[in-house]
Amino acid sequence: MTIQQIKQRFSIIGNSPVLNRAIDIAVQVAPTDLTVLIFGESGTGKEIFPQIIHQLSARKHNAYIAVNCGAIPEGTIDSELFGHEKGSFTGAVKNRKGYFEEADNGTIFLDEVGELPLSTQVRLLRVLETGEYIKVGSSQGMKTNVRVIAATNINLLKAMQNGKFREDLYYRLNTVPIIIPPLRNRKEDIHLIFRKFAQDFSEKYRMPPIRLKENAVLLLENYAWKGNVRQLKNITEQISVIEQERAVDGETLKKYLPDEIHNLPVIYGDSINKEDFATEREILYKILFDMRNEINELKTIIQDVTKQNTGTVNVPSKVFDKSTNNIHQPDYISSSENIIDNVNEKNKFAGNKSFIEETEEIIEESLSLKDKEIELIKKALEKYKGKRKYAAEELGISERTLYRKLKEYDLTT
């Protein structure tokens, strides 16, 4: 059977090379009993490929059972797959056959296999390796001759690293991998699929089919389609029912395409506080180090003035700010220049040594982390007239963290 005949039989639309490759692998592996693992995003049509494999195999006259592992509660998944004995748990009023017993000599498709709990993964691994399983509440082993095809839309390698999926089960399932491409990687197929859906809904709702203008086709082909074929089908149905004008342009189509959703990192549990505190400490340490460097530079300038007792002092007019990677004039330049001018003027005309000695007296500024933090908080609150939200933004911390520090340092606003 050719790839084109298979597409017609299973209603597969598209001529993308990556799609044709996936179909070709399914055809080649179908006559064997090898375990197949299908990878693909949600909505790509993964459920069609197990049917192709089953229908082209020697098991096609026996049972084909599709199981959505993510839709079965963890407490009953073992009973659903392997069956149970009467009285094995509350509610087990009679013996029950599991899917592996029902699908004996046939094919079982485990969709979203990555959602299986670890205890069930152990049972599944035993079935794959020995063909044996034990019903819930029983001590007697049973044999089954089932071909297993699994599918997932998650990264199983990452799940293994996180301890959510067994490594031995992954390699046992992944004898033959089939990768279903997302719709955004099949741009040449998107308009074909849209036209097929538009024709189907035209017949269903008894109205003329929707047609896309050139700018709408371009928009359609360049959209990300996070929901893949399923999302495209839903949007086609919406447009078919709602729009009175059957020729749809880009502006009209854009109303039905949701804005791109960016996956933002999410922090759970206690990690919020830990990362908050780490960030705050880094910011405060950086501020303090920068302030200390500037103070040391200012002290050096003043000391040079008093030692040289001349009218000329080399003052750096520009400094490099590591935090912003920019060169700028430090805040102390204008004030230090005034000091230097006064010192030089008095040295010229007075030559008073006692005056010079007085200028050497430098008041040490506190570098206590707590004191600096209190000072910064007070300045931020004063700047924004007690409004904590804006003060927190200025400090680079959350409003909740600012409130906690106000209580810690007994500060009132």
pLDDT tens digits for 370-381? 777 888 888 888
**CA–CA separation, 331 and 287 (whole Å):** 14
| First and final C-alpha spacing in the chain | 79
For residue 352, the model assigns a pLDDT of 47
Number of other CB atoms surrounding residue 192 within 10 Å:
14
Number of other CB atoms surrounding residue 126 within 10 Å:
14
Whether the CB-CB separation of 218 and 252 falls below 8 Å is answered with: no
Nearest CA to 258 among 276, 280, 232, 288?
Answer: 232
Look up the CATH number of domain 186-254: 1.10.8.60
For residue 45, the model assigns a pLDDT of 93
pLDDT tens string 77-98 = 999 999 999 888 888 888 899 9
Q: Where are the domains of the chain?
A: 3-181, 186-254
Give Dmax over CA atoms of the chain in angstroms: 114
Residue 380 exposed, middle or buried by CB count within 10 Å (0-12, 13-18, 19+): buried
Angle (CA) 146-148-151 rounded to 5° is 160
- Enter the pTM of the model: 0.62
Residue type, 276: D
CATH for the 3-181 domain, from 3.40.50.12780, 3.40.190.10, 3.40.50.300, 3.40.462.10: 3.40.50.300
Number of helices (H), then strands (E), in the chain: 18, 11
Residue ranges for the chain with pLDDT beneath 70: 260-286, 289, 305, 307-367, 413
Q: Which 3 state secondary structure label does DSSP give 351? A: coil
**CA–CA separation, 206 and 299 (whole Å):** 87
- Can you state the angle between helices 332-349 and 271-308, rounded to 10 degrees? 20
- The DSSP letter of residue 244 is S
Nearest CA to 46 among 181, 140, 157, 156?
Answer: 181
Residues in the chain: 413
For residue 375, the model assigns a pLDDT of 84
Whether the CB-CB separation of 387 and 405 falls below 8 Å is answered with: no
